[in-house]
Amino acid sequence: MKLLYAKSHWEVFDRPVQEFLSRTKQDGFDGAEMFLPWLKESPSEIQKLVSDNGLFLIAQINSAGKTPQEHLDSFRKNFQLAVDSGAMMVNSHTGSDVFTFEQNIAIFEEAIQLSKQAGLTIAHETHRGRPTFSGPATRQLLEALPELELCTDFSHWFCVHESQLHDQEDTIKLACERARHVHARVGFEEGPQIPDPAAPEWSQIVDRHFELWQQIIDLSKERGAESLTITPEFGPPPYMPIEPHTQKPLADAWTVNTEFLKVLKQRLKA
């Protein structure tokens, strides 16, 4: 099984797409992950730019609005952007933690049908503010929808549960079984992002994240997957902590991600 690494557009979303893609390729990534609704380029332009740089595209999209219907409508629109842009996979922030279980189920059911029709995997991210904000909430969804697939970002759950998730091993295993994409950011009990995973004071919690990521890889191999995509996703401020008064970031997110790519390639075993 191959491990394929993508670079998020997050830190430099205000820079030209070509500049981002060229830098992504130069820094050793296999693909690019971009939030399509933010881009001014047309889907055909995005597809050509990504291809010309020898990369694959993970299309990041979301559902948005005040009502479940608005979320459904926006999801359909954004998913079509992903299809038209030639995405290899979709990573989606789907639904809302303020909707009922039944309302979110309806949104996910629509997403599953769209995924089947297009032949395009949709990995729904475990994220605060979404119905996947916690382990138990996500488990309910996974048990109700056997075809629901995830982008696992365990950093959010570390923060939500104020724990390293040792008391949720069955839920973690189920989430790992359904993982089709990984956001490799390190969170901790009081926040979704440590400043720099290379700092020795964070080594124990970094190790715990690697245990979880390796579990995803092992389970992916067991089910016969040919590849697994991983995006190191340390973000800029306000995810990146800043100094008081000066507002200087404690670390440069792009540098953190490119250095962490080397660590991921060294430590994760397919």
Radius of gyration over every alpha carbon of the chain, rounded to an integer in angstroms: 18
* Cα angle 250-265-199, degrees, rounded to a multiple of 5: 25
- CA distances 157 to 72, 89, 134, 178, Å, are 25, 23, 6, 16
The parts of the chain modelled with pLDDT lower than 70 are none
Residue from 92, 171, 93 nearest 138 by CA: 171
pLDDT at 29: 99
pLDDT at 187: 99
What is d(CA 33, CA 72) in angstroms, rounded to the nearest whole number? 22
Look at the domain 2-267 and name its fold.
TIM Barrel (3.20.20)
Please state the φ and ψ torsions of residue 93, each to the nearest 5 degrees: -90, 105
Residue from 146, 144, 171 nearest 157 by CA: 171
Token pair 């297009």: residue: 118
* Cα angle 97-98-100, degrees, rounded to a multiple of 5: 95
